[in-house]
Structure 1
């Protein structure tokens, strides 16, 4: 039986590359599982007001992100798919939330070592966590804090609503924009009602 020139060698090279890809994916899954856990814990600590604990979690997460980039450096296709990017979005969301709450600033994608796409989607997800802060502030009667973080929500939405890309470029962008808009509208309504209630209360107290 005749052989096609170079085909056997080509197939073996492909097998080696795919074996390496599969092995890297298995190793990455362990890192991503821990990254998800640390990101979730950091968000939880931010909401509890434990910013030092949140920073510790994020520092651990940042090391994992660095490990992930080293591991998948030869396999960028894994970094760009939902396999890894969804977890990097969660990490970006946690870093953004922490920085906004602690320093009233947002880190850049370069600072936290994530792609612009993961950063954008994480930023939109952070709107939901900021709503939780507003709701907690209203529950505690802190209207000033509620208004402050409502303003942050509005700024994020106004800056990101202009992005218009197909799913192939930024997956789930439209859905996340729609969710952010819905959350913003609900939160704005609740803060407005709380403000009017506070004004009425002060008016009645003066009478």
Structure 2
């Protein structure tokens, strides 16, 4: 028992390091979540330069998290850290798809595959939001493009058939994606029918106007 105090001192030292790392990680994770949310808001407003700037700041925060916690895997894979990184993935992919840039890979973003796929799943909700914003002004090919992307995302996710312990609950997310895609397709169908009806009525009105001249 003579070395008990020495052991205790060593344990306390480790715990002090972990506590400091955890406190800093919480700060960075909160900032990363906020920057990611602001990026998504900016891109929905079509403020591309602002979104690009915010995304660059988010990227730096995500890299800092990975670097600072490299020696603390329990903190790196903690729920609050993974949630923040998933938000970063969602913001990065949402930005790329809305502005029609190449899709970033997990390697590009420096994230784990499961985190990437869960972030990708949540992108469909943002794409639906963008589609609805477009449809308020009438049917367009841009809305059709985004719906096609949503379909492709679901088609990929539904093939990832692995236990939740590996995919971090991706199966449940995939079920949600299916509902989002189906509702968006229904909205698109209604918008297309309304657009065709509008065109038919305008064509009829033009013919009536010509006949009355």
TM (normalized to structure 2)? 0.89
Specify the alignment match of 1:24 in structure 2.
21
Residue 141 of structure 1 and its aligned partner are, at CA, apart by 1.1
Q: How many pairs does the alignment contain?
A: 204
1:138 maps onto 2:135 in alignment? yes
Specify the alignment match of 2:45 in structure 1.
48
RMSD of aligned alpha carbons: 1.7
1:150 maps onto 2:147 in alignment? yes
SS at match of 1:103: coil
The structure 1 residue matched to 2:12, chosen from 12, 15, 22, is: 15
> Is the Cα–Cα contact under 8 Å of residues 35 and 91 in structure 1 kept in the other structure?
yes
* Runs (5+) with no aligned partner, structure 2: 205-213
The structure 2 residue matched to 1:199, chosen from 169, 172, 196, is: 196
> Is the Cα–Cα contact under 8 Å of residues 40 and 91 in structure 2 kept in the other structure?
yes
1:114 maps onto 2:111 in alignment? yes
- Equivalent-residue separation in structure 2 for 1:36 and 1:202 (angstroms): 44
Residue 66 of structure 1 and its aligned partner are, at CA, apart by 1.4
- Equivalent-residue separation in structure 2 for 1:16 and 1:41 (angstroms): 38
Residue 108 of structure 1 and its aligned partner are, at CA, apart by 0.7
TM (normalized to structure 1)? 0.91
Residue 193 of structure 1 and its aligned partner are, at CA, apart by 1.3
Residue 70 of structure 1 and its aligned partner are, at CA, apart by 1.6
Q: Deviations over 1:100-125 (max 9, x none)?
A: 11234210111122221211111000
Higher Rg: 2
Residue 165 of structure 1 and its aligned partner are, at CA, apart by 2.6
Specify the alignment match of 2:208 in structure 1.
none
- Equivalent-residue separation in structure 2 for 1:95 and 1:75 (angstroms): 25
Residue 163 of structure 1 and its aligned partner are, at CA, apart by 1.2
Residue 181 of structure 1 and its aligned partner are, at CA, apart by 0.8
- Equivalent-residue separation in structure 1 for 2:67 and 2:86 (angstroms): 18
> Is the Cα–Cα contact under 8 Å of residues 139 and 188 in structure 2 kept in the other structure?
no
Specify the alignment match of 2:207 in structure 1.
none
